[in-house]
Amino acid sequence: MIRLKGLRKVYGRQTVLDGIDLDIAKGEIVVVIGPSGTGKSTLLRCINFLEKPTAGEITVGDLTVDACSTSRKDILALRRRTAFVFQNYALFANKNALDNIAERLIVVDKWPKEKAREKAREILQRIGLGDKAEAYPASLSGGQQQRVGIGRAMATGAEVILFDEPTSSLDPEWVEEVLGLMKQLASEHQTMVVVTHEMSFARDVADRVIFVDGGRIVEQGPPSELFSNPQDPRTRDFLRKVLPDQTV
Give me the residues that bind other proteins (CB under 8 A), please. 48, 50, 76, 79-80, 82-84, 86, 88, 90-94, 96, 103-104, 107-108, 136, 138-139, 152, 156
Torsion of CA 183, 216, 228, 202, to 10 degrees: -10
Cβ within 8 Å of residue 19, ≥6 positions away: 6, 7, 8, 56, 215, 216
Nearer to other proteins, 11 or 92 (CB): 92
Nearer to other proteins, 111 or 136 (CB): 136
Instruction: Output the smallest distance, CB 161 to other proteins, in A.
Output: 10
Least distance to other proteins, CB of residue 50, Å: 5
Instruction: Kindly state the smallest distance separating residue 138's Cβ from other proteins, in Å.
Output: 5
Q: How far is the CB of 97 from other proteins (least distance, A)?
A: 12
CB 146 within 8 A of CB 85: yes
Alpha-carbon distance of 3 to 15, in angstroms, equals: 21
Phi/psi for 223 (5° steps) reads -55, -35
| Helices and strands (H and E) in the chain: how many | 9, 10
> Least distance in Å: CB of 88 to other proteins?
6
Q: Choose among 34, 30, 43, 41: nearest CA to 241.
A: 34
User: Between 64 and 229, whose beta carbon lies closer to other proteins?
Assistant: 64
Q: Which is nearer to other proteins, 13 or 110 (CB)?
A: 110
Return the ∠ at Cα 177 (arms to 23 and 39), rounded to 5°. 35
Toward other proteins, which CB reaches closer, 68 or 108? 108
